[in-house]
Amino acid sequence: MLSKRIETLKNELFKEKRQISLERARLYTESYKNTEGEPSVIRRAKALSNILSKVEIAIKDGELIVGDRTVKPRAGVASPEMSPYWILEELDEFSTRPQDRFEISQEDKEYFKNELYPYWAGKSLKDYCNEHIPQNIKDTVNMKIIALNQTDKGQGHIIPDYSILLKKGLKVMINEVKEKINENEDNYFYRASLITLEAARDYILRYAKLSEDMAAKERDLDRKKELEEISRISYKISEDKPETFYEALQLFWYISVIFQHESNASSISIGRFDQYMYPYFKKSLEDGIDIEFIKELLRCLYIKFNTIVALRSTESAKYFAGFPTGYTIVLGGVDENGRASINELSYIMLEILGDIRLPQPNLSIRVNENTPMDFLIKASEIIRLGTGMPQVFNDEVNIPAFLNRGVSIYDARDYAVVGCVELSIPGKTYGLHDIALFNLLKVFEITLREKKSEIDSFEELLDKLKGNISKYVKDMIEGSNIVDMAHRECAPTPFLSNFINGCIEKGMDVTEGGAIYNFSGVQGIGAPNLSDSLYVIKKAVFEEKLITIKELTDVLESNYEGKEDLRQRFINKYPKYGNDVDEVDYLGSEVLSHYCREVEKYKNIRGGTFQPGSYTVSAHIPLGAAVGATPDGRMKGEQLADGGLSPMVGRDKNGPTAVLKSVSKLDNYLTSNGSLLNVKFSPQALEGFEGIKKLAGFIRAFSRLKIQHVQFNVISAETLREAQRHPEKYQNLVVRVAGYSAIFVELDEAIQNDIIRRTEHSF
């Protein structure tokens, strides 16, 4: 049962409508006007310093963990330095758009139009991309074959090495950078790094002074002591390393907020929290700190995660609906020696999620053959609550996948997750994990239309499809590298770079290639629909001679007009992916593997490699809208299969284990950037302890089948329909979307309906 403190803080999150804040934009712009002509990395550092010294701060009643990006919770922060254009276009639509609505005052609208927009038009990251991306790449984007991401927002999708800070403290880090400056006087990165670290120290001191002043005025003795402790901790950790769990948590959160102030980016993720925080947790227990107080601190931290949401354009919100911020935590797994690394804190973190039941943090667990059954049982109990968390990642395939990318065995064993399902090495990787999407089904559609008169066999169709995939992958790589360069030129992150191994040693920002591992992640979308479509063609066209390839293409271009009987035949006669039918499953595997092998041929501008993934987030809705009718019976504009590797909605008929077997036939070692499988269970299937044991056994089977990832929705379709009818009664209903959880009633109706239609499995 939640305490009154936590209930109050939780309710405050949703008390008012979400606002758009221009405070960061104003302070950032103010600094940039004063630094014209200086190197970009210095300008960015000074802009962060200006924000941290002037942004409004507050401490809410009852808070034990303090620090906010904005004084109003869940406010959307605008970044015109990334792109002022979509903000201007949507100023009057934020409160009425289909997805992710925000309120903005008339005064702020005028300020944006008259001050911010005129300054940033022509100077933004979006302008750099538009100027440098050639027309052939723009054509490929306009055809909806690829989507280039991160062209109008700060780049996150990274896991800082929080242990650097916790083990050293800010004073030591500052002194180390000063030594580097003495040795490298002309290095702008080191100078920028120092500016940001000193600004971080001073920012924490602002909270130390605020809590000290509030304590002096506080009449409630209990709250006075709490404020005095917040002040003591803040003064201490503004320079020195933490010693207690409370001190470590507070320093961790201050730094997390500063990362947001610097980049205003999604998915600056948390990593293996139960590993680097465990020594402080253990020490506090040994010092006699009450375990219930530790749990209350963690609940306060979980509340803090939910104060930050992402402001995206209407178009971007279609792909990432529900404000996901990507505060992803990973529990469990193995240590550098390959031994199980589950501890008491791992269990408590799961317990706290069950208490709070909010979308953030995006909690995950790592499992393997040696994961204790009691940990799987505990995780299954939390999954059964229906929030879609924790999601599950498989060491048995993910560690070897990283070895395939040249990562050392010790680092591979330390992998964690950024954002939704993207795999990364904490503190050592700048992975641009979400730089582009590749619509495999759109390439299939184009291939049929272009080559229908040239295709005489199924093998020819596959060859021509693979050829087009190779052609358009090259376009995607070129476009991604230009976006990568845009971030180097326009949006370096010197503060974040302090917490990525390799950057201080090399004297290079992460955007320059300072990290130890430099990847670029690109997602292949539509493999399940492609499996089903190819199988229909193989059978109906080339084996049964039911229809010619040209006739089929004409039927598809007419969106099955007058051919409903044929569409139903395609849907119902021929087996579909997700039902453990080898002949179907291996078709998708062959094409997805070809995509992966093409991607991994290429290098990025930081000297690293491109790595493929297969996940959609919520992009299966807009990507499907760009694709005409397909031979699997899908109508023009209808969504694609959700998740990335999930079967098309309603087509998996043989139960959840058959789904696992189908996914296991894909070469999951190749999709090292991450893949996504959604599975939906009826609540009745998991009733009682027997239901929990069945789910734990299902997770064990998932691990043995060498599948990268699985996540669950455990909620009835009727409950979701009731929430659609009466949203006011379901304001806190959290569901799994695709790689992240969101509040159901805050999702667009199309995404709500997609979640409702997903097959509801029983054992």
Catalytic residues, by residue number, are: 420, 422
Is 497:483 a contact under the CB 8 Å cutoff?
A: no
Question: Measuring CA to CA, which residue among 666, 745, 759, 742 is closest to residue 323?
Answer: 742
How far is it, in rounded angstroms, from Cα 624 to Cα 640?
5
How many other C-beta atoms can be found within 10 angstroms of the C-beta atom of residue 151?
Answer: 23
Strands, DSSP E only, in 134-215? 146-148
Q: Which of 640, 410, 396 is nearest to 524 (CA)?
A: 640
Beta bridge mates, 366: 332, 393
Distance CA 85, CA 76 (A): 16
CA distances from 186 to 38, 174, 177, 243, 322 (A): 13, 18, 13, 36, 44
Task: For residue 564, give the 3-state DSSP assignment.
Answer: helix
Q: Is the peptide bond before 390 cis (omega within 30 degrees of 0)?
A: yes
User: Would strands 146-148 and 436-439 be described as parallel, antiparallel, or unpaired?
Assistant: antiparallel
**Under a CB-based contact definition with an 8 Å cutoff, are residues 449 and 158 in contact?**
no
Cα(430)–Cα(133) distance, integer angstroms? 22
Closest CA to 328 of 363, 300, 354, 352: 363
Contact present, 710 and 398 (Cβ < 8 Å): no
Helix (H) or strand (E) holding 609: strand 609-613
**DSSP secondary structure code for residue 510 in this structure:** G
Cβ atoms of 125 and 151 within 8 Å: the answer is: yes
Q: Characterize 86-97 residue by residue with b for buried, 16 or more Cβ atoms within 10 angstroms of its Cβ, and e for exposed.
A: bbbebbeebeee
Residue 290, number of CB atoms within 10 A of its CB: 10
d(CA 481, CA 306): 33
CA distance linking residue 350 with residue 390, whole number of Å: 8
Give the Cα separation of 8 and 62 in Å (integer): 8
Rounded to whole angstroms, how far apart are CA atoms 418 and 63?
A: 27
Is residue 317 classed exposed, middle or buried when 0-12, 13-18 and 19+ CB atoms within 10 A define those classes? buried
Give, in order, the Cα–Cα distances in Å from 550 to each of 141, 229, 453, 543, 553: 27, 75, 7, 15, 5
Spatial distance between the Cα atoms of 108 and 614, rounded to a whole number of angstroms: 40
**CB–CB of 515/503 below 8 Å?**
yes
Q: How far apart are CA 365 and CA 378, in angstroms?
A: 11
φ, ψ (nearest 5 deg) of residue 142? -65, -25
